[in-house]
Chain A
Amino acid sequence: MKGEMIAIIDYGAGNLRSVANAIAKLGYQPRVTNNPGDVLSAAAVILPGVGAAADTMRNLAESGMSEVIRQLISEERPLFAICMGMQVMLQGSEEGGWHECLGVIPGIVKRLSSEVKIPHMGWNQVKQRIAHPIFDAIPDEANFYFVHSYYADPDDTSVVAGTTDYGVSMCSVMIKGNLVATQFHPEKSGEYGLRMYSNFLQMALKGRFGRC
């Protein structure tokens, strides 16, 4: 239902305002918060992310959000993770040496090919690998806005819902149960980006996850 509180996890990552603006635009009530009670009582949760893996993991740990995120996942609560938020779901990242991540999805985070310009910055196509309500009213190969230098490489290909080509074919949409994660930024991806948040929130609020 519109008007429901949607928690946006604040762990000092910046750029939270864009996500909150997008959620507000869709008619929901965004709450940027680092309060575990708020996050655990929200109808759905968004984990934004920009910056470096090491800082992100440290900030998540220090704010107590690492445990909250694990709890959300173990309770199969609707969670949308963006960019660095997606990458920290894997076991570890090669960024700046090696950094342990949350490890809720088997696989690692690798650096993009040195044959392409880094960061991967701009609009690129997402190939839909599965039929899923997250893609409702979004055409196959629609463009989304990316900005990153590393990418998630999950071991289990069944979690790969969308891929994007940039030097390599990478997982750009990852779905496991009620966890949806994108390498691109839906809040910066125009109308299709807003539509993806809207699809996620509708699924979350209707309990439609798990049926597909």
Chain B
Amino acid sequence: MLTKRIIPCLDVTQGRVVKGTSFMDLRDVGDPVEFAAFYYKEGADELVFLDIGATPEGRSTMVDVVERVSKQVFIPLTVGGGLRNTHDIRRMLEAGADKTAINTAAVLNPQLIGNGAKKFGSQCIVVAIDAKRVISADGPKWEVCTHGGRKQTGIDATTWAKQAVALGAGELLLTSWDADGHRTGYDLELTRTISETVTVPVIASGGAGNLKHLYQALADGKADAVLAASIFHYQTYSIHQAKDYLAERGVPVRK
């Protein structure tokens, strides 16, 4: 049986792992290569690196981080943040990334999804969607935000998710803008809505504060994988503890 994946996320800026709330108030929490090696040993199923500075210098630093990590960590690595074209994607894949996550660039130029999938295969193209809840007369709705949450696009997240998959996305990384960094749980309605809409795997992100939240995103949110940062970075829980907790509740995990 395909297992559910536990994915620690490393938000990186200028070569350091940082942590913030709703994409702001960043604090330095450590070295990305050390974090990656630690999570690999602990049994993480994959790692995601997001360059949240997304400057040209930051991108070069990220290439270096990915090269160093891929020499000692033998699980899938996804890199995102500021990737604007297929040249940027190729650079990360050549450095040792297995997948690249594109967000703002995909919204501005949806053809990047198709071009990337055609050149490198759908499995390399993760479309990251940052979704913000909006009030609507006919139930909950979510709007896509870009530029690290600073811009709202007016695009409906469900519509965009479908379009991204049709264009060739191999996976979606779905972050709730409202829940991110608050540790009060994933947006389960959002996760379930998107997961039930698309045919590709969905990684739930934003809001994990305890192990129950991981369970809810997988069981109730129907996500294929859960992404979390602070609960692992601050060693509130180990990956082992998370997997034991999920296994006890009948969620298939790799141990």
Q: A residues within 8 Å of B by Cβ?
A: 14-15, 17-18, 21-22, 24-25, 50-52, 116-125, 143, 145-149, 165-166, 187-191, 193-194
Q: Which chain B residues border A15 with CB–CB below 8 Å?
A: 93, 98
Q: Give complex CA distance A50, B119 in Å.
A: 11
Q: Does B71 contact A (CB under 8 A)?
A: yes
Q: Give complex CA distance A187, B5 in Å.
A: 17
Contact B76 A14 (CB under 8 A): no
List 6 A-B residue pairs with CB atoms under 8 Å apart, sorted by A's residue number. Answer: A50-B120, A120-B2, A143-B3, A187-B74, A189-B74, A190-B75
Render B212-228 as a binary contact track against A, CB cut-off 8 A, 1 for contact.
00000000000011000
Within 8 A of A (CB), among B228-251: none
Shortest beta-carbon contacts, A-B, top 6: A143-B254, A123-B254, A51-B121, A147-B123, A123-B3, A17-B96
Contact A123 B98 (CB under 8 A): no
**Residue among B76, B95, B121, B122 making CB contact with A188, cutoff 8 Å:** B76
Q: Give complex CA distance A191, B123 in Å.
A: 22
Q: How far is the CB of A28 from chain B (nearest CB, A)?
A: 14
Contact B121 A50 (CB under 8 A): yes
**Residue among B40, B90, B93, B225 making CB contact with A122, cutoff 8 Å:** B225
Closest B residue by C-beta to A167 = B2
Q: Does B149 contact A (CB under 8 A)?
A: no
Contact B170 A50 (CB under 8 A): no
Contact B200 A125 (CB under 8 A): no
Main secondary structure, interface of A, reads mixed
Q: Which chain A residues border B95 with CB–CB below 8 Å?
A: 17
* Given A14-B93, A14-B120, A193-B74, A119:B200 Cβ within 8 A: yes
Contact B201 A125 (CB under 8 A): no
Q: How far is the CB of A8 from chain B (nearest CB, A)?
A: 14
Q: How far is the CB of A119 from chain B (nearest CB, A)?
A: 6
Contact B74 A122 (CB under 8 A): no
Contact A124 B1 (CB under 8 A): yes
Q: How far is the CB of A103 from chain B (nearest CB, A)?
A: 23
Closest B residue by C-beta to A116 = B2
Q: How far is the CB of B226 from chain A (nearest CB, A)?
A: 12
Q: How far is the CB of A46 from chain B (nearest CB, A)?
A: 15
Render B99-110 as a binary contact track against A, CB cut-off 8 A, 1 for contact.
000000000000
Q: Which chain A residues border B76 with CB–CB below 8 Å?
A: 145, 147, 188
> Which interface residue of B90, B95, B96 has the most chain A CB atoms within 10 A?
B96
* Given A188-B74, A188-B76, A121:B201 Cβ within 8 A: yes
* Given A125-B1, A143-B3, A52:B121 Cβ within 8 A: yes
Render B170-182 as a binary contact track against A, CB cut-off 8 A, 1 for contact.
1100000000000
Q: Does B83 contact A (CB under 8 A)?
A: no
Q: Name 7 extra pairs, CB < 8 A, besides A25-B74, A166-B2, A188-B98.
A: A14-B120, A51-B120, A116-B2, A122-B224, A143-B254, A188-B75, A189-B75
Q: Does B14 contact A (CB under 8 A)?
A: no
Q: How far is the CB of A127 from chain B (nearest CB, A)?
A: 11
* Given A187-B74, A190-B75, A122:B2 Cβ within 8 A: yes
Q: Which chain A residues border B120 with CB–CB below 8 Å?
A: 14, 50-51
Contact A124 B70 (CB under 8 A): no
Render B1-45 as a binary contact track against A, CB cut-off 8 A, 1 for contact.
111110000000000000000000000000000000000100001
